[in-house]
Amino acid sequence: MAVTGNHRKLSREGETAQRDALMAAALPGIAKGGGRAAALRAVARRAGLTPGLIRHCVQSGQDLTRAACGRLVDRMMAANLKGLDTSPVDPAARLAAFVAALLRPPVIDAETHGPWAGFIHRLRIDPQIRLAHEAACLACRDRLRQMGAALPRPAGDATLRAPAVAIAIACNAVIDGPWLQAPALPAAFAAGEIPRTGQTPVGAIVNPDLLSHLPEAP
């Protein structure tokens, strides 16, 4: 019996749905117990799939952990890009919007923070996870560099003497602080405070007051 195009499409869609279910089921376990928590049988139970179906998508718990890491990185990067699509044209306002997007869900929430911490433990022993982590960090740093370079500078501004990459690294570092603290201490921050804790020091580094270029975060 010949396999039609529709059958192939439905088969691919079914495999994609199964893989999505696997990723969703793997991430909570990784958040609690690192990469070892991605044991295939345990994930199968959480995803409502049989071990046989899981092995059709991935060959081992290590493969599943790597795929889940890649999916998490893709989700975070997509959220960053979506924030840029709707951000203002003014360079300072655009930078302020990007920093805010880095410090709001889905980039900053328990579903992201926990698995990311679990993956950190595997950076030294799994080259693929290290590469995914490196790609996400460098992509964010590069966007900060591009946005910082687009800001108008008054004559004699001292920040002009610092390399653009160094400025981006400094901005990334001060964003990492609230990114790490907010999910761990959610009660310590008032509504809308988390994005501002990133926008204020980034503005101090690059010179413009970012808060004055963007309405107060909700």
| Span 20-45, average pLDDT | 71
Cα separation, 214 vs 218, in Å, equals 11
Mind listing the pLDDT tens digit for each residue in 94-133? 899 899 889 988 888 877 888 888 788 788 888 988 998 8
| Span 179-197, average pLDDT | 87
Cα separation, 105 vs 116, in Å, equals 14
Classify each residue of 96-131 as buried b or exposed e, where b means 16 or more C-beta atoms within 10 Å of its C-beta.
bbbbbbbbbeebbeebbbbbbebbeebeeebeebee
Look at residue 11 and tell me whether its pLDDT is greater than 70.
no
Cα separation, 50 vs 45, in Å, equals 7
- Which residue did the predictor score with more confidence, 126 or 56? 126
The pair of structure tokens assigned to 96 is 């302020």
CA distance to 24, 113, 156, per residue, from 75 (Å): 12, 12, 40
